[in-house]
A = this chain, B = another copy of it.
Amino acid sequence: MTKLSDRKEKILNALVDDYIKSAEPVSSGDIQSKYMPEVSSATIRSELNALEALGYIDKPHTSAGRVPKPEAYKLYCQRAFENHEFTEQDLTSMTERFSKQVTSIESLSVEAAKIISDQTNYTTVFVANNNEDVVIEEIKLVGLQNGLALVLIVTNCGIITDKAIEIPDDVKQAGIEAASDLLDKVFQGKKVSSINLDSELKKIGKSIEGYKTVFDEIISILESYCLEKRKSVHVEGALKVLDYNENPSDVKNFLEIMSDSDSLERLVTPDDNIEFSMKIGGEGIDKCAIVTAEYKINGQVIGQAGVIGPERMDYKKVASVLDGIKKSLESVFDDTQTEDIDERKE
């Protein structure tokens, strides 16, 4: 799409602005009186004609004003990201919440989603990734009375305490304590992703002997734990959809999607590797717009945020909040403490 003239863009911008506020089709006269009294409405009309031909706007009927089409929202949203402002105060309060509340990957997604949803008043999804490899700090087997043993694994990402395994008879004889010690020797200090059981055992000069089943179970516990720790998806403010959509089946559909974390993850994953993006419709939520942002710390993607609202969203607010989160996350978690001032140009 070829670049619009400055005046066309100014008119388009004014139109979207007005439509977001009023929810009414915007007429050439409206634009003239409120935004550009220096030209006549007839001039604006001919520009509007051109914009309509270019696919940016539409007319509900002959004698109505114009309404924006998705292309117009996209351009508007892009501009919102280019020039937004936020108060220093908002920024510091965000930063404070992050540094106080966030202790784990789960709490990051919860807290970030809450902040964004509170500030924008739209439904927000936050997907937090865990880039750290899970490292085993300590591992113990605790025998219980009923022939089971509890597996206790302390990792850098938390303690696994809820898995019990059955103890084979031969291990029972050799003693659970011995098994526990062996486990600790083999696994302690290891990254879960790089465990190679055979070579570890060779190092300490032992074969698996009767412990095979036990080791297998431990490995599978670790694997599923890593999988679960890999991502944390959280939604906040799902019910805000009721503020702008009155159609029961739309709402039902929306809320169903909001409670399915796979759909959510797909929803906020940007199509290409882009810092901010915006799309209209997706995953079956037809009438909604989704603004997504990707967050990096130390160069690694640590999460995606997605703000979901009506097409007529307050994109300026959304842009400022999403960028505020970026700044906050950087100031709290980024070691390099990048001081580069926001100088993005597209």
Instruction: Please give the residue numbers on chain A whose beta carbons come within 8 Å of chain B beta carbons, in ascending order.
Output: 137-138, 140, 142, 144-145, 150, 152, 154, 159, 161-162, 164, 239, 242-243, 246, 248-249, 251-252, 255-256
Q: Nearest CB to that of A259 among chain B residues?
A: B239
6 A-B Cβ contacts within 8 A? A144-B154, A161-B162, A162-B162, A242-B251, A242-B252, A255-B255
Shortest CB–CB separation between residue A21 and chain B, in angstroms?
Answer: 21
Residue of B nearest to A137 (CB): B145
Which residues of the partner chain B approach A252 to less than 8 Å between Cβ atoms? 239, 242
CB distance B256 to A248 under 8 Å? Answer: no
Q: In the assembly, what is the distance between CA of A138 and CA of B239, in Å?
A: 45
Task: Determine the distance from Cα of A90 to Cα of B217 in the docked complex, in whole angstroms.
Answer: 40
Residue of B nearest to A245 (CB): B248
Residues in B whose Cβ lies below 8 Å from that of A140? 142
B-side contacts of A137, CB under 8 Å: 145
Task: For A152, list chain B residues within 8 Å (CB).
Answer: 142, 150, 161
Nearest Cβ distance between residue A91 and chain B, in whole angstroms? 30
Contact for A161 among B150, B154, B246, B255, CB less than 8 A: B150
CB closest residue in chain B, given A238 = B255
Report Cα–Cα, A140/B176, bound state, in Å. Answer: 15
Nearest chain B CB to A261 CB, angstrom units: 17
Specify which chain B residues have a CB less than 8 angstroms from the CB of A145 in the assembled complex: 137-138, 154
* Assembly CA distance A154 to B154 (angstroms): 20
Q: A150-B159, A239-B256, A242-B248 are in contact. List 15 more A-B contacts (CB 8 A).
A: A138-B144, A138-B145, A142-B152, A144-B154, A144-B159, A145-B154, A150-B152, A150-B161, A159-B164, A161-B161, A162-B162, A239-B252, A243-B248, A248-B251, A255-B255
Chain B residue numbers with a CB within 8 Å of A251 are 242, 248, 251
Per the bound structure, the CA–CA distance linking A154 and B251 in Å amounts to 44
In angstroms, Cα B164 to Cα A255, docked, is 37
Count chain B CB atoms within 10 A of each CB in A137, A138, A144, A242 and give the residue with the most: A242
A95 to chain B, nearest CB (A): 28
* Shortest beta-carbon distance from A33 to chain B in Å: 33
Question: Within 8 Å CB of A144, what residues of B?
Answer: 138, 154, 159
**A56 smallest CB distance to B (angstroms):** 31
| Neighbour of A142 across the interface among B142, B164, B239, B243, CB < 8 A | B142
Cβ-closest chain B residue relative to A188: B145
What is the distance, in angstroms, from A256's C-beta to the closest C-beta of chain B?
7
